[in-house]
Amino acid sequence: MSRTPIIAANWKMNIGPAEAKEFIAALKNENVCDICVDKVIVPPFVTIPAVMDALNGCQCIGVGAQDVSDRDNGAFTGEISTTMLNELGCKYVVLGHSERRQYHGETNAYINKKIKKALSAGIIPIYCIGETLEQREGGQLESVLKSQVVEGLADLTPEQVAGIVIAYEPVWAIGTGKTASAADAQAAHAYIRSVLAETVGAEAADKVRLQYGGSVKPANAAELMSQPDIDGALVGGAALKADSFAAIIKAAK
């Protein structure tokens, strides 16, 4: 099965509307449009309209949000709904990022509700999973990944699972400059795909795109993405500059 690589820039709480316009202009100058890789920018909510304006209808770069509510609308201060994301033209939403799990107490069960809500609105979830250093050193890597996959994707049909993106991001590698070796990353991705095959069947498992995330940069991107089960990258720090994000896109083709 050949899977189109997908590279996403998670800007986290960085880059306001004015800076975003400069970023998109610089990215357009990098000539990434013709590269056969799905490209996604995931700005803070308030920056999304500026990114859409700067893209000016250019379909080659998709836009995502960093979170979404599991509710429709109403008295949920600070929340953003799928309807609002659809109105802005967001195609993707990052869900279950380790920073949401760590600082906002998000659990697999809660993230599962958000995944279902996103899917029901036609928005593609980029579902983040990954172990902490303590869990890895304590021999819990596989059990943690398995529960994140099984609980986070509970009740989804094989067709729904086949269409989502899963980002494997070892927590100890996010923003630390430490990257999993290509072999360790591949082993984790292969394990995730095997759990998917057990839960939703081999066909859907084969279609799911699995990104690696955790200190991906131009220098290590090609080696990571040459692994058979790594279908792209979710990039934080190295995606804050257009030239470095473009270099990672070029490394994925």
Single residue of 6, 48, 119, 235 touching ligand PEP by CB under 6 A:
235
User: Residue 128 or residue 149: which is nearer to ligand PEP going by CB?
Assistant: 128
> Rule CB under 6 A: is residue 64 a binding residue for ligand PEP?
no
Number of residues that bind ligand PEP (CB under 6 A): 13
Which has the closest alpha carbon to 116: 65, 170, 69? 69
Q: How far is the CB of 236 from ligand PEP (least distance, A)?
A: 2
- Catalytic-residue membership of 142: no
* Binding segment toward ligand PEP, per CB under 6 A, in 53-61, 76-84, 116-124, 210-218: 210-218
Which has the closest alpha carbon to 232: 206, 204, 251? 251
Cβ atoms of 177 and 217 closer than 8 Å: no
User: Residue 138 or residue 175: which is nearer to ligand PEP going by CB?
Assistant: 175
Q: How far is the CB of 77 from ligand PEP (least distance, A)?
A: 25
> Rule CB under 6 A: is residue 201 a binding residue for ligand PEP?
no
CB proximity list for 137: less than 8 A, separation 6 or greater: none
> Rule CB under 6 A: is residue 214 a binding residue for ligand PEP?
yes
The Cα–Cα gap between 13 and 20 comes to 12
Q: Report 164-183 residues binding ligand PEP (CB under 6 A).
A: 169, 174-175
Cβ atoms of 222 and 253 closer than 8 Å: no
Which has the closest alpha carbon to 229: 186, 194, 183, 198? 186
> Rule CB under 6 A: is residue 234 a binding residue for ligand PEP?
yes
> Rule CB under 6 A: is residue 249 a binding residue for ligand PEP?
no
> Rule CB under 6 A: is residue 66 a binding residue for ligand PEP?
no
The Cα–Cα gap between 242 and 239 comes to 7
- Catalytic-residue membership of 97: yes
The Cα–Cα gap between 249 and 6 comes to 9
> Rule CB under 6 A: is residue 215 a binding residue for ligand PEP?
yes
Cβ atoms of 74 and 90 closer than 8 Å: no
User: Residue 24 or residue 235: which is nearer to ligand PEP going by CB?
Assistant: 235
Catalytic residue among 97, 106, 131, 189: 97
Q: Using alpha carbons, list the distances in angstroms from residue 129 to 15, 71, 144.
A: 25, 22, 9
> Rule CB under 6 A: is residue 104 a binding residue for ligand PEP?
no
Residues forming contacts to ligand PEP in the complex (CB under 6 A) are 10, 169, 174-175, 213-216, 234-238
